Structure 1
Amino acid sequence: MQALVIVAHGSHLNPDSSTPTYEHADTVRAVGAFDEVKTGFWKEEPSLREVLRTVESDDVYVVPFFVSEGYFTEEVIPRELRLDGWDVADWDSDGTSADHAVYTAADTGQRVHYCGPVGTHDSMTDVIVRRAESITGDPNVGDGFGLAVVGHGTERNENSAKAIEYHAERVRERGRFDEVQALYMDEEPEVDDVADYFESEDVVVVPLFVADGYHTQEDIPEDMGLTDDYRKGYDVPAEVDGHRIWYAGAVGTEPLMADVILERARDAGADVGDAVEVVRERTRKTEAAASGSSAAGD
């Protein structure tokens, strides 16, 4: 038997923080790639410390639903899961290249395939692009558009900035968008000045966050000038300094994120069959249907 455990931060203050984790777990569960699919949280139940006790399988693939490598993926999660012999050097990572390593859970005896975070996986680039497609309702969006990938910045987590630039560069190399820029909340170039960094009239802004919360729902919309009070809401697209800003919200809420989770586990040796392809096709159809329904109601 093989199990998948998706581990995330969660929140005591924001009940919606864990919603994407549950939704992606449901998507993976529905394709039947694992005998068990569980979720565990730092700030919610089931806790990271207890989640392995809810799993019957001997082989467990643990995928951190985090944007970057850092304190939680390198210290908190391995400690709480009690991974015997954990050493971050086993990932052999430069800050964006963590893959996986195998350990024994000290108290349960399970073999744990501990994966790198979803946010640094190469397929996250596809999710960022899909997010742009979803918010614009255009599966071919790119020509005439700029794309901003937004993160915290180095004052909070050095590797967070690395992840942002990594994916921005990967999108840039594809040549799909006229302009691609990495922007930050806590350092230059700042998302506050988004209009200053693009010549394109239309700009899609995708925050590289796993869930919508204080930063993505309040700080960033107000900082960009989409609204002077997030409680009043804002238009999509919104006019800002001669540009149309298509604000997409947290990338982690995109249904295709389930694919990244599956790919992380597959890279670590999990037998997922054709689940990756199935999820990509299902999420594409679901989003197309949702877009059609929205258009019909306009």
Structure 2
Amino acid sequence: MQALVIVGHGSHLNPGSSDPAFSHADTIRATGAFDEVREAFWKEEPSFREVLRTLESEEVFVVPLFISEGYFTEQVIPRELRLSAWDPEDWDSDGTDADHVTVQAEDVDKTVHYCGPVGTHDSMSDVIVERAKTITDDPDVGEGFGLAVVGHGTERNENSAKAIHYHADRIRDTNRFEEVKAVFMDEDPEVDDVTDFFEAEDIVVVPLFVADGFHTQEDIPEDMGLTDDYRKGYDVPSEVDGHRIWYSGAVGTEPLVADVILERADDAGADLADAIERVRQRTENDGAASAGD
């Protein structure tokens, strides 16, 4: 038997923080690829510390629903799962290329394949583009458009910015968009000045965040000048400084993230049959239907 555990941060303040984890788990559960699928959180129940004890499977694939490598993926999650043999050096990563490490959770006698975070997987670049398609209702979006990939940014974790630059660089290399920039909330270049960084009249802004919350629903729209009060809402697109801003909200809510979670598990050796392809087809179709509503 094999199990999948999707681990997220959760929040006592933002009730929607855990929604993406539950949604993507439901999508994956429907494929039947795993005998068991569980969600676990740092700030909500079920907790990291207890989740392995709820499983009957002896082989477990743990996928962090986090954007970047850092304190939570390298210290908190392994500690709470009691992965005693875990060493961050085993990922052999420069901040964006963690893959997986197989260790024993000896207190529950399970083999755990601990995967790198969803946010640094190459397929997340596809999700960002999918988000741009969804918000513009244009499957061919790119020509004449700029794309801003937004991260939090923090001096406490240099890898936070690395993940944003990584995907911006990968998408830029496809030459799909006229311009692609990485911008941030708490470091330069700042999202407040997003229109200063683009010549394109149309700019798609995609926050590389797991869930919608204070930052994506309140801070970023106000910082960009879409509204002076998030409670009043804003238009999509909104006119700002001679540009049209197409603001998408958190990328982690895009249905295609379920595909990235599966790809992380697949990279770690999970027996998935055709589950990835079925999820990709389903989520792309769901996204196309949503865009047409």
TM-score (norm 2): 0.99
Contact 1:212 1:250 in 2 (8 A): yes
Q: Indicate how the Cα distance of structure 1 residues 170 and 40 shifts in structure 2: closer, same or farther if over 3 A, else same.
A: same
- 8 Å CA contact retained: 2:121, 2:264: yes
Separation in 2 of the partners of 1:135 and 1:69?
28
> What is the one-letter code of the residue matched to 2:135?
I
Paired residue secondary structure (1:31) = coil
Q: CA deviation at 1:54?
A: 1.0
Alpha carbons of 1:193 and 1:151: their partners in 2 closer, same or farther (altered >3 Å)? Answer: same
Shift, 1:106, TM fit: 2.8
Partner Cα distance (1:58, 1:174) in 2: 41
TM superposition shift of 1:276: 1.0
List per-residue Cα deviations over 1:120-142 (Å, max 9, x = no partner).
Answer: 00000000000000101111100
2:48 aligned counterpart, secondary structure:
coil
Amino acid at match of 1:246: W
* In 2: Cα distance, 1:122 partner to 1:143 partner: 23
Q: Is the 8 A contact 1:156 1:186 kept in 2?
A: no
What SS is found at the alignment partner of 1:166? helix
Shift of residue 64 of structure 1?
Answer: 0.2
1:101 correspondence with 2:94: no
Cα distance in 2 between the residues matched to 1:156 and 1:178: 32
Retained in 1: the 8 A contact 2:127–2:257?
yes
User: Structure 2 matches for 1:1-298, cutoff 5 A?
Assistant: 1-292=1-292, 294=293
Give 1:240 deviation, angstroms. 0.5
What is the CA-CA distance between 1:12 and the residue it aligns to?
0.7
**Once the 2 structures are TM-superposed, how far is the Cα of residue 290 of structure 1 from its aligned partner?**
2.2
- Distance in 1 (CA, whole Å) between partners of 2:84 and 2:76 is 14
Q: Distance in 1 between matches of 2:6 and 2:46?
A: 11
Q: Secondary structure at the match of 2:30?
A: helix
**Separation in 1 of the partners of 2:180 and 2:95?**
22
Letter in 2 for 1:16: G
Secondary structure of the residue aligned to 1:49 is helix
2-structure distance, mates of 1:193, 1:86: 41
**What secondary structure sits across from 2:199 in the alignment?**
coil
Give the drift of 1:156. Answer: 4.2
Structure 2: distance between partners of 1:285 and 1:260: 16
- What is the CA–CA distance in structure 1 between the aligned matches of 2:74 and 2:228, rounded to whole Å? 38
Greater shift, 35-44 or 152-161, is seen at 152-161
Q: In structure 2, what is the Cα distance between the partners aligned to 1:277 and 1:201?
A: 36
Report the 3-state secondary structure (helix = DSSP H, G, I; strand = E; otherwise coil) of the residue aligned with 1:168: helix
Letter of the 2:266 partner, please give it: R
Shift of 1:250: 0.4
Deviation digits for residues 90-109 of structure 1, max 9, x if unmatched?
A: 00000001000011113201
Q: How far apart, CA to CA, are the structure 1 residues paired with 2:237 and 2:199?
A: 16
Q: Is the 8 A contact 2:52 2:81 kept in 1?
A: yes
Give the drift of 1:84. 1.9
Q: Which amino acid aligns with 1:215?
A: H
The CA deviation string for residues 155-186 of structure 1, in whole angstroms up to 9 with x for no partner, is 24210100000000000000000000000111
The answer as to whether partners of 1:153 and 1:187 remain within 8 angstroms in 2 is yes
Structure 1 unaligned residues grouped into runs of 5+: none
What is the SS of the residue equivalent to 2:204?
strand
Kindly indicate whether the alpha-carbon contact (under 8 Å) linking 2:134 and 2:290 is maintained by their aligned counterparts in 1.
no
State percent identity of aligned pairs.
75
Give the 3 Å change call, closer, same or farther, for CA 95–46 of structure 1 in structure 2.
Answer: same
